[in-house]
Amino acid sequence: GAVVSQHPSRVICKSGTSVKIECRSLDFQATTMFWYRQFPKQSLMLMATSNEGSKATYEQGVEKDKFLINHASLTLSTLTVTSAHPEDSSFYICSAPGQGRGNTIYFGEGSWLTVV
Amino acid sequence: GENVEQHPSTLSVQEGDSAVIKCTYSDSASNYFPWYKQELGKRPQLIIDIRSNVGEKKDQRIAVTLNKTAKHFSLHITETQPEDSAVYFCAAEDSSYKLIFGSGTRLLVRP
């Protein structure tokens, strides 16, 4: 079946540095991918919609200059957390819809980011 | 945009009893409503879903009901087992193809 792979699964970075998280659809094309953030014991909060070949659409309150999203191909979206701070430490997870609205959503494995 | 509310936030039941989790949504254009089970630090696992042209769907011990008029949907787990203990999230796919999640329910099944 369809698979979405996310890398890295865990990353520790120093304050002020940037870290990139990749989300790949392994056996299907994903013109749209979604990025979520989940703090401990909280829900998945949608950060942005990644659109292949065009700019990402950010949810209200999400800083687009801090969370850079690039969707350069039909199988890869990247999220770069720039100038990371400890409060950015969280679980980040991507998803991609199978074929469109109302079809199965495939999630990546998620990435734990710890900023020290 | 879509807003999904989920209740209760925590639910404790005796093994063998039923558990019910309820969600409401705001966007009448939403027509896909999945339920997920999530373990800490893992990706959400789809356990059941329902589309707006269906009122109820059942899969063994799990069932979901949808009332489009009232904009609410519910997860029902019967004959609960300790391994059902987890965090459960409802979600609604809005008119922009995004999945909006409820706040989650921590279910504890006591042996």
pLDDT of residue B75: 98
* pLDDT higher than threshold 90 for residue A28: no
Min Cα separation B44/chain A (Å): 7
Structure tokens at A21: 């998280």
Lowest mean pLDDT: which of A20-34, A41-55, A87-101, B76-90? A87-101
B31 touches chain A (CB under 8 A): yes
By C-alpha distance, which of B21, B44, B28 is closest to B93? B28
pLDDT of residue A1: 62
Residue B31 and residue A34: Cβ atoms within 8 Å? no
Beta-bridge mates of residue A36: A46, A93
pLDDT of residue B37: 97
Min Cα separation B20/chain A (Å): 19
Range A27-35 average pLDDT? 90
B51 touches chain A (CB under 8 A): yes
Which residue of chain B has the CA closest to A103? Answer: B32
pLDDT interval class at A105 (50, 70, 90): confident
Residue B102 and residue A107: Cβ atoms within 8 Å? no
Considering only CB atoms, B89 lies closest to which of A43, A109, A112, namely: A43
How many Cβ atoms from other residues are within 10 Å of residue B66's Cβ?
Answer: 22
Range B54-83 average pLDDT? 96
pLDDT of residue B104: 97
Is residue A45 packed enough to be buried (19+ CB in 10 Å), middle (13-18) or exposed (0-12)? middle
- The pLDDT tens digits for A33-49 are 999 999 999 999 999 99
- The pLDDT tens digits for B1-51 are 889 999 999 999 999 999 999 999 999 999 899 999 998 889 999 999 999
Residue B100 and residue A46: Cβ atoms within 8 Å? yes
Residues of A within 8 A of B100 (CB-CB) are 46
Burial A2-36 (b: 16+ CB within 10 A, else e): bebebeeeebebeeeeebebbbbbeebebebbbbb
